[in-house]
Amino acid sequence: MGLSDTQDRIASACAAAGREASEVKLIAVSKVQPLERVEAVLGEGHRLFGENRVQEAAKKWPGLRDRFEGVTVHLIGPLQTNKARQAMALFDAIHSVDRPKLARTLARLAQEMGHCPDLFIQVNTGEEEQKAGVLPEDTDAFVENCRALDLPVKGLMCIPPVDETPSLHFALLAKMARRNGLAGLSMGMSSDFEEAIALGATHVRVGSAVFGARDYG
Ligand SMILES: *Cc1c(COP(=O)(O)O)cnc(C)c1O
């Protein structure tokens, strides 16, 4: 566990897959973690972080950005349209674009604000009722729709069902990204980032393996 151990594991997984380590970005998922742990990882030189809630990130990151140079923060959790403006100001990338209404809101705000974070489209590869994301069958049309709105779509993102082999979902996501000409693949968490790297992940979202278990107490 820890940052350097996770970096070593990423490097080994890249080597095993015949990929350059620089092809895979480690998003250290800092949600719910005590500030000391986040500061420690910043102190070790890491600069790319992930948060799943706009409110929590808004409390945490402006202060940390003042103290540490070159910080990048990605939103990896669901985004309500009424928080889109705040999210666009706070985050360098949004991994959870998952419906036409949100895409239209982001496009309107991008026009108005003159900039837009990098966007990933979340795909509900397991077609789970309770999970966010566009269905696999709707993904190509949604990518098209986002491109027509001039949104900077960089890739696809998925969170596989907990009780299924993640590799099947990673392979499906990779196939969908390829056929849509998208280079980015946001997939892989603490329990499966090595498999995700083997299947082409460009962004792994790793929380507990970097920081330790989250205490929701
Ligand atoms: C919390 C979270 C992660 C990180 O989970 P770990 O199992 O702690 O690595 C990755 N992706 C998303 C979308 C998350 O919400």
Kindly indicate the confidence band of residue 177, based on its pLDDT and cuts at 50, 70 and 90.
very high
Per-residue pLDDT tens over the stretch 55-113: 999 999 999 999 999 999 999 999 999 999 999 999 999 999 999 999 999 999 999 99
192-206 pLDDT, tens digit each: 999 999 999 999 999
Nearest CA to ligand 1 atom 10: 205
* Angle at alpha carbon of residue 50, lines to 145 and 169, rounded to 5°: 60
Q: Does residue 169 have its Cβ closer than 6 Å to ligand 1?
A: no
Residue 215 has pLDDT above 90, yes or no: no
Angle between helices 35-43 and 54-67 (to 10 degrees): 40
Helix (H, G, I), strand (E, B) or coil at 123: strand
Say yes or no to pLDDT of 216 above 90.
Answer: no
Ligand 1: nearest atom to the Cα of 157: 13
Residue 176 pLDDT: 98
The residue whose two tokens read 């102190």 is 43
Full-prediction pTM beyond 0.85?
Answer: yes
How many percent of the chain have pLDDT more than 90?
98
